[in-house]
Chain A
Amino acid sequence: EVQLVQSGAELQKPGESLKISCKASGYTFTKYWIGWVRQVPGKGLEWMGIVYPGDADTRYSPAFEGQVTISADTSMNTAYLQWSSLKASDTAMYYCARHRREVVTAHEPFHIWGQGTMVTVSS
């Protein structure tokens, strides 16, 4: 069974660093783009960026470039989303999701989704 299992909820203070994870199973991790979507409570979906684990090619939304780092560890079949200095405005649910097809193109919808990781940033 193809699955993405995300790390648990986080409560952090402003200025702290954080790295959340998304462990993939049931498919060849290196052959599918995987990305992150933010959802602020009560709001819509925001596409943050994607990474191709096969060669670490990464694409970011301008809204998130420089604010977060997306990466993948092929030895762990795990994708990551990290912050170096959290802000209260980073409080949201974060979903990882995998592209639909095993292709090199970065233009695919998200087909397989993780369960989400709630990140709360509060002093």
Chain B
Amino acid sequence: EIVLTQSPGTLSLSPGERVTLSCRASQSVSTSFFAWYQQKGGQAPRLLIYETSTRATGIPDRFSGSGSGTDFTLTISRLEPEDFAVYYCQQYVGSPRTFGQGTKLEIK
């Protein structure tokens, strides 16, 4: 099983700031099979990024993804109030598919 480890667990930031979230895989993952999701309180997750760097439909361009091998990142260029949520990475090549444990972005 591919284990995904996200860091940090929680980030306290202010609107307008830039943030980079990290996800490290226990073994190499093809960039074609890596995604990021956002989950706000009481809501279902939402797909943000797939294939490491492609934004899903309707996702603002302040969200960007990058990485390769075992290290992947999600960057939000300028935080908006609605971006404070929990973010999960996922690999969808291995069996089973796995998620990271999540990074919570909270307002400072």
Contact = CB atoms under 8 A, between A and B. Distances in A.
Interface of A: 37, 44-47, 49, 59-63, 95, 97, 100, 107-111, 113-116
Please tell me the size bucket of the interface on B: 20 to 34
A109 B50 contact: yes
Contacts of B44: 95, 97, 113-116
10 contacts: A44-B102, A46-B99, A47-B97, A59-B95, A61-B97, A63-B96, A97-B45, A108-B92, A110-B37, A111-B47
Interface in B1-58: 1, 33, 35, 37, 39, 44-47, 50, 56
Given A100-B50, A109-B90, A111-B56, A44 B95 contact: no
A44 B101 contact: yes
A61 B94 CA distance: 10
B97 A113 contact: no
